[in-house]
Amino acid sequence: MAGISKFRIGVLGSGTGSNFAAIADACLAGRIPAEVALVVSDVEAAGMLEKARERNIPATYLSPGEFRAKLSPEAERTYVKVLKEAGVELVALAGFMRILQGTFLNAFEGRIVNIHPSLLPSFPGLDAWKQALVHGVRVTGCSVHFVDAGMDSGSIIGQQTVPVLDNDTPETLRVRIQAAEHELYPKCLAALARGEVVVQGRRVFFRASFA
Ligand code: GAR
């Protein structure tokens, strides 16, 4: 309805943006009672920025600074400023391949979430689907979790399982996990936007049923 402002999500990513697209399309379809207010990437050529512009969603590249695996302190301040100016209430990381530190974590405390392509705490870090194949697990999946100062280590909000098939390659498994991500992430964000998520220590509960 005109005049009623929606819950505002900011999406950060470094890659192709398939999860961003799933989130944005779920918002547009009303499955998440929110809007993507801003998309930010640390990679100038990220497909995610293009996907955002196709949807008329504000999208910007912001320099990450001089480090490879994290934002510089100055870059963190800029990211926070730009997200706050856009009125972002929840930050959703979607393939953002840098660790966030104090300035950012404090600015959005308890309001940063991430999607990871494994059943955490198994296989944190890079190429989780390859880790699953190397380890020989029969079931893997994806996890949505709150972000803390560690690597894929915050409280788990939701998980979805994916079978590992005998003939899987890293690529076929990656694709199957991503299809599960595109279902799980919008469901978790919808619950967060509705205020249904309750955190008790490391455990996360849902006020309404998690369908
Ligand atoms: C997703 O599969 C996400 O789980 C992964 O990056 C991919 C981004 O794809 N993230 C991590 O591995 C974080 N540790 P997308 O750009 O198509 O959404």
What is d(CA 112, CA 105) in angstroms, rounded to the nearest whole number?
8
Q: What is the CATH number of the domain that holds 93?
A: 3.40.50.170
In a domain, 203, yes or no: no
For residue 179, the enclosing domain spans 7-198
Q: Is residue 208 part of a domain?
A: no
**112: in domain:** yes
Between the CA of 25 and the centroid of ligand 1 the distance, in Å, is 17
Residue 160 Cβ contacting ligand 1 at under 6 Å: no
145 counts as catalytic: no
The pTM is what? 0.96
Quote the ligand 1 centre to 198 CA distance (angstroms).
Answer: 25
Q: Rg of the Cα trace of the chain?
A: 17
- 16-59 tens-digit pLDDT: 999 999 999 999 999 999 999 999 999 999 999 999 999 999 99
Identify whether 70 is part of a domain.
yes
d(CA 191, CA 66): 36
- How far apart CA 55 and CA 49 sit, in angstroms, is 10
Residue 130, pLDDT > 50, answer yes
Share of the chain above pLDDT 70, in %: 97
pLDDT in tens, 152-196: 999 999 999 999 999 999 999 999 999 999 999 999 999 999 999
Test site for ligand 1: of 178, 185, 188, most ligand atoms within 8 A of the Cβ: 178
Report if residue 209 sits inside a domain: no
Cis-peptide into 124, omega within 30 deg: no
Number of domains in the chain: 1
* Residue 117 lies inside a defined structural domain of this protein: yes
Do residues 191 and 206 touch, judged by C-beta distance below 8 A?
Answer: yes
pLDDT (tens digit per residue) in 55-77: 999 999 999 999 999 999 999 99
**Residue 174 within any structural domain of the chain:** yes
From the CA of 1, how far away is ligand 1's center (Å)? 33
Confidence of residue 1 (pLDDT cuts 50, 70, 90): very low
From first CA to last CA, the distance across the chain in angstroms is 25
For the Cβ of 64 lying below 6 angstroms from any atom of ligand 1, the answer is no
